[in-house]
Chains A and B, each alone.
Chain A
Amino acid sequence: MPEWLDYFFNYFVIVYSAMVLLSYVAMAILAYLEHRKHYTYHDDAYTIAELKKSPYTPGVSIVAPAYNEEKTVITNVKSLLSLDYPDFEVVIVNDGSKDRTLELLIENFDLVKVPYAYVEKIKTKPFRGLYKTRSDNPAFKRLTVVDKVNGGTKADASNAGVNVVSNKFFVCTDVDCVLDKYALYRVIWPTMYSTRRVIAVSATMRMSNGSMVEEGKMVEAHPPHSLIPLFQDLEYTRSFLIGKTALARINALQNVSGGFGMFDREIVIKAGGYDGDSFAEDMDMVARMIRYMCDAGEDYRVVQIPETCCWTEGPSNFKVLNRQRTRWGRGLLQCFTVHHDMVWNRNYRRYGMLTLPYIMLFELIAPVIEFSGYLMVLYLFLRGAVNYSTIWIAFLGLYIFAQLLTMVIISYDVWVGTSFKRKADYLWFVLASLLEPVIYHPINVFFSLRGYWKHIWGTQMVWGNMTRKGVQQRHPQANPQPLQQPEPQNPDA
């Protein structure tokens, strides 16, 4: 073995691994402090009651792009309209669907095209029209349907939605996501108690595979009972309850998930809206909002709340997971290419000096280092030079650390108010945690590298479709058939 490689693995990789583990420990501690603060001061029922009766509660708009969603769109729009909040509107953007999405919306909600004075604050593909209801049903009055030419990305459709929303804050979600009934109260609350301007709020998202959903509403939350969504659920929970919570505590949150996140409309427009060319448009959006705030010399906060507000359906096979993770990997590298000037730049405060360097070192480079480690072990194995007494101790140490992290997540989840119906559901998390380091993690490393490769060589890539199975329904007749829909957004890019 060349001497330099020996040095590389003996010193650099060991130090690097120790730093990664230390960063996890630091994040778990920061997340603990944040959850303790939340537990001490926050009372969900009390907050909701206070906001419900106040005339000062700000209005919130929900923007949900829909592309070829004819099988689920009606149930899901009804579910969005039935959310509990004093002042909200639902803006569905029909992104040039080729199926009957628009027709079904028109039929079911008695919609009619209205002469809306559309102003294109953010550039999008051409706007075709805006629909409002003729019905006297007050819930339907909250609905606005925007019809536009297909832009090929969720970003373009979201931008068209942002152009017509009427409230200061808007929630960006996917039309197939299941939102918690009180989600809007929860995301608006940080904008009320913060002394600084809150430009974005991220909330915890979970997998809906395995949960019981009735008419688009979550009835019983359970963890997925198949391996890939279960791994993803564990990954999401770890990302939201430790990673994002810790970063948000020091106002250094890197990303507000595209699946569910609330944004300040004014800042989104000033930052130029979502980038239609980005493969990680949610992370890119937050980066641009922060860039705008820092350039303008304004104070801001990006907040993460621990309560589960949204459930989304995760990939159920490796093929779809591959497509999703390759895109995320590509998006991450693309984001660094676009915003490279923010890294180690003091003008961008903690985002530039802490968040981006952290992501670059421990998320962007990590798959490369890990993959080189796998190759090294393979090389040593073929040469018969593996030191088994050392390798098992290293593996066991890491493995136990992973289990510890899972137990910490479970503690935090219970602490902040679990969404699971039964506490025994956490045993699924334990099972996933036992298998994740040997199955899921190495595969994801490979998918990320594939994404980097595609970005570097500029391979043509389009938004992949995700085959969804549909969540469990109480009424079998309402069970959606498998359909083609855009992928959910990256929770942590």
Chain B
Amino acid sequence: MEYYTLSRYAYWKYYILILYYRLAEYPPVVRAWFVFGAICVLLLVLVVLGNTLRYFSHYRFERLSRHNSRRYWKRMREIILSERTLELAEVSSILELPKNYKMKARQCRSFIPTLLELKRSLGDRISRPNWVRLLQVLKMPAYFEDQILSRSTRERVQAFKDVADLDGNLKEAVASRYLFTKDRKLQMHARLHAARFGTSYPFKVLEEDPNLVFTKEMVVKYHNVLVYRKENGLAMPNFIRWCNRVPLNEELRIFAVNEIRLFGRKEDCAELLSMLQSSREEEFSCALIRALGELKYVPAEKEFCHRYLSASFTERQVLAEAMGTIGSDNPEILKFLSDDFLQSTDYVTRMILLRVIYNYGARGREEFYRLKESTAGEYQPYFSHIECDLIDSSRYA
């Protein structure tokens, strides 16, 4: 009798063949079912293994972060609250980093939660030059640069967010390669980075990208960037240019007008009025009207009255609000509002008109009570509603 020693592959083949011939006895459905079950078992093992590895990796990272926080919190605090601008060597000696401290991504990342917490808790008390030096000693700029230039999309996006949160000291050129990338989210973060820290024409892409998609998310983020620039004394963009860019971008135009309103740039009002005179788009017109109203630009009242009768309900509501906000105590405006209250067929518009009249100075209050006396019962709930101080009638919808 001959004996064979099975080699590695033959060994596997032997068992697979046994299995195959065993299964051959069964109908095809059972065989298919068996293969399905076997694949599931294999995947199950892989998923369990993956979960376990991820758990331990996460656990180690958390432990490192906690350790860094315990060890360096006080030292970092001392550095960034120092009234004197410290030298890099001084920062390094206060921190007492391990001698073998190198720029390893994992180590740098583990410092981010502590730095963010410090920045959040100390706010304005932080000495900016010392903060920058602290980041340099921890080699954070190099870490961020490395993450942005050579890592996965998630790490790039996360690095951009961390730089913004930490007010990181990073060259604006780092972001430039992603300014026109097809990955819209990454592109947005790169553009926000350029807008936040850029020194030479930081909003260029907004004015020049013909395919710009300006979502509400970008509205929120660009506004925060603009607030940051203003607070740090950086140059602000010319919003009027954004309104007139070619090709026109409706969302960007509306955003620009809203920013003029929020930053209180009264010097742009004349330009806004001339845009309103030629505007036919409802949403853009509403933004212009709101801006002119809140900036209390009295010359706009005439245009408001002119537009009113041909405007949609939404635009009428905004116009009425704007006239009320300007509050020029003009009897003609008051009469205009009062007449429209009696003619309006929309209940929200009617409520807004009545509220504007009520808040339109002493004359407005007088007109309000005159209307209350002269109108029929169906209008009375509106009057009671406006008169009640407990109801915020500006939120009526």
Which residues of B lie under 8 Å from residue A401 when comparing CB positions?
Answer: 36-37, 40
Which residues of A lie under 8 Å from residue B4 when comparing CB positions?
Answer: none
B157–A41 touching, CB < 8 Å: yes
Answer yes or no: A239 CB below 8 A from chain B CBs: no
Task: Give the docked Cα–Cα distance between A112 and B390 (Å).
Answer: 9
Answer yes or no: B110 CB below 8 A from chain A CBs: no
Instruction: Please tell me which one of the listed residues A10, A119, A193, A411 contacts residue B50 in the complex, with CB atoms under 8 A apart.
Output: A411
Interface magnitude class on chain A: 35 or more
Instruction: Please tell me which one of the listed residues A53, A119, A411 contacts residue B51 in the complex, with CB atoms under 8 A apart.
Output: A411
A56–B220 touching, CB < 8 Å: yes
Answer yes or no: A133 CB below 8 A from chain B CBs: yes
A43–B47 touching, CB < 8 Å: no
Interface centre among B26, B153, B221, by most chain A C-beta atoms within 10 angstroms, is B221
B390–A400 touching, CB < 8 Å: no
A393–B33 touching, CB < 8 Å: yes
Which residues of B lie under 8 Å from residue A117 when comparing CB positions?
Answer: 347, 351, 381-382, 384-385, 396
Which residues of A lie under 8 Å from residue B384 when comparing CB positions?
Answer: 115, 117
B220–A51 touching, CB < 8 Å: yes
Answer yes or no: A435 CB below 8 A from chain B CBs: no
Which residues of B lie under 8 Å from residue A166 when comparing CB positions?
Answer: 395-397
Which residues of B lie under 8 Å from residue A165 when comparing CB positions?
Answer: 397
Taking CB atoms and an 8 Å cut-off, the chain A residues in 229-275 that contact chain B are 265
A192–B37 touching, CB < 8 Å: no
Known: A53-B224, A192-B215. A114 touches B390 (CB 8 A): yes
Answer yes or no: B266 CB below 8 A from chain A CBs: no
Answer yes or no: A194 CB below 8 A from chain B CBs: yes
Which residues of A lie under 8 Å from residue B392 when comparing CB positions?
Answer: 141
Task: Give the docked Cα–Cα distance between A407 and B395 (Å).
Answer: 47
Instruction: Please tell me which one of the listed residues B44, B347, B397 contacts residue A407 in the complex, with CB atoms under 8 A apart.
Output: B44
Which residues of A lie under 8 Å from residue B54 when comparing CB positions?
Answer: 411, 414
B47–A195 touching, CB < 8 Å: no
Taking CB atoms and an 8 Å cut-off, the chain B residues in 302-339 that contact chain A are none
Task: Give the docked Cα–Cα distance between A238 and B225 (Å).
Answer: 39
Task: Give the docked Cα–Cα distance between A141 and B390 (Å).
Answer: 9
Answer yes or no: B30 CB below 8 A from chain A CBs: yes
Q: Considering only CB atoms, which chain B residue lies closest to A133 in the complex?
A: B390
Which residues of A lie under 8 Å from residue B219 when comparing CB positions?
Answer: 56, 192
Which residues of A lie under 8 Å from residue B221 when comparing CB positions?
Answer: 50
Task: Give the docked Cα–Cα distance between A140 and B217 (Å).
Answer: 30
Known: A54-B223, A112-B390, A411-B51. A400 touches B161 (CB 8 A): no
Q: Considering only CB atoms, which chain B residue lies closest to A400 in the complex?
A: B40
A193–B41 touching, CB < 8 Å: no
B43–A404 touching, CB < 8 Å: yes
Instruction: Please tell me which one of the listed residues A14, A40, A112 contacts residue B154 in the complex, with CB atoms under 8 A apart.
Output: A40
Answer yes or no: A1 CB below 8 A from chain B CBs: no
Task: Give the docked Cα–Cα distance between A433 and B389 (Å).
Answer: 56
Interface centre among A117, A166, A407, by most chain B C-beta atoms within 10 angstroms, is A117
B44–A115 touching, CB < 8 Å: no
Answer yes or no: A46 CB below 8 A from chain B CBs: yes
Answer yes or no: A57 CB below 8 A from chain B CBs: yes
Answer yes or no: B213 CB below 8 A from chain A CBs: yes
Which residues of B lie under 8 Å from residue A49 when comparing CB positions?
Answer: 165
How far is the CB of B37 from the nearest CB of chain A, in Å? Answer: 4
Which residues of B lie under 8 Å from residue A133 when comparing CB positions?
Answer: 390
B217–A114 touching, CB < 8 Å: no
Interface centre among B36, B51, B220, B227, by most chain A C-beta atoms within 10 angstroms, is B220
Answer yes or no: A116 CB below 8 A from chain B CBs: yes
Answer yes or no: A335 CB below 8 A from chain B CBs: no
Task: Give the docked Cα–Cα distance between A50 and B224 (Å).
Answer: 7
Which residues of A lie under 8 Å from residue B224 when comparing CB positions?
Answer: 50, 53-54
A40–B33 touching, CB < 8 Å: no
What per-residue 1/0 map shows which CB atoms of B133-160 lie under 8 Å from chain A? 0000000000000000000111001100
Answer yes or no: A137 CB below 8 A from chain B CBs: no
Answer yes or no: B105 CB below 8 A from chain A CBs: no
Task: Give the docked Cα–Cα distance between A396 and B44 (Å).
Answer: 14
A-B contact pairs, 14 of them (CB 8 A): A39-B154, A43-B161, A56-B258, A115-B384, A141-B392, A393-B37, A397-B34, A397-B36, A397-B40, A400-B40, A403-B40, A404-B43, A408-B47, A411-B54
Interface, chain A (partner B; CB < 8 A): 10, 14, 21, 39-41, 43, 46, 49-51, 53-57, 89, 112, 114-119, 132-134, 141, 165-167, 189, 191-195, 265, 389-390, 393-394, 396-397, 400-401, 403-404, 407-408, 410-411, 414, 423
6 shortest A-B CB distances, which residue pairs?
A: A115-B384, A397-B37, A166-B395, A117-B385, A193-B217, A192-B216
